[in-house]
Chains A and B, each alone.
Chain A
Amino acid sequence: QQQVKQSPQSLIVQKGGISIINCAYENTAFDYFPWYQQFPGKGPALLIAIRPDVSEKKEGRFTISFNKSAKQFSLHIMDSQPGDSATYFCAASIAGNFGNEKLTFGTGTRLTIIP
C-alpha cells in the first residue's frame, strides 16, 4: 500500500521559532507534494505544494524543502505565530488521467505555538 510517513506526531514551538515537519515516501512515481493545514472544526486547506523539478518552494513564512534522492520533503514555518497552531498534513499523488485526485496523506502533525 502506498504510504506517506509523517513526523513528528506533535510539535511545540516557541513564538518566533522555526517549526519543521518531515515526510517520507516510498513510491518514486509520486510527483505532486502538497501540504494542508487544518484548524479544529474545519476541513483541511491547501497551504503550499511542490513538484519534484525544484528543491525548494517558498511562500511567505512557509517553505517546502524537497530531497528527491532521499524521497523526503519537509515543511518549514519561519517566525512561527500562535495563529499557526493547527494540524498539518503532508500528501503525495501521481499526476495521471485524473491529475492530482488520488492524494495519499500522512498521519498529521499537531503544531502548538506557545508565547
Chain B
Amino acid sequence: EIVLTQSPGTLSLSPGERATLSCRASQSVSSSYLAWYQQKPGQAPRLLIYGASSRATGIPDRFSGSGSGTDFTLTISRLEPEDFAVYYCQQYGSSQYTFGQGTKLEIK
C-alpha cells in the first residue's frame, strides 16, 4: 500500500499570503492519479485538483498543483478567507486508493 504523508500538519497564514502544501508518497505515484481535496467542517470533501495539476470544474485559478513521482505540491497563490480548511491528497494505484492525513490551513 502506498502511504501519503502530508506536511505541514498545520499551516498558519494570513489572507493574501501564499500557501504551499506538500504530499510525499512512499513509492512512485502516477501523476494521472494524484488528486487534492478541500474539506470544511460539516461538509463533504470537494475535489480541487486531479491528474496532479488539472483544476476541477469551477475551481479558481489561485489553486494549482504540481509534482511527479513521490513529491507533489498544492499551491494557493493568494489566500482568500474561504480557503481556510483542511486539505487532503489522494492517490490511486494497483486498484487501491489512499489519502494523506491532511493539512489544516488556519488563519494566523
Task: Indicate, yes or no, whether A interacts with B.
Answer: no
Could you list which residues of chain B lie within 8 angstroms of chain A, going by C-beta atoms?
A: none
Could you list which residues of chain A lie within 8 angstroms of chain B, going by C-beta atoms?
A: none
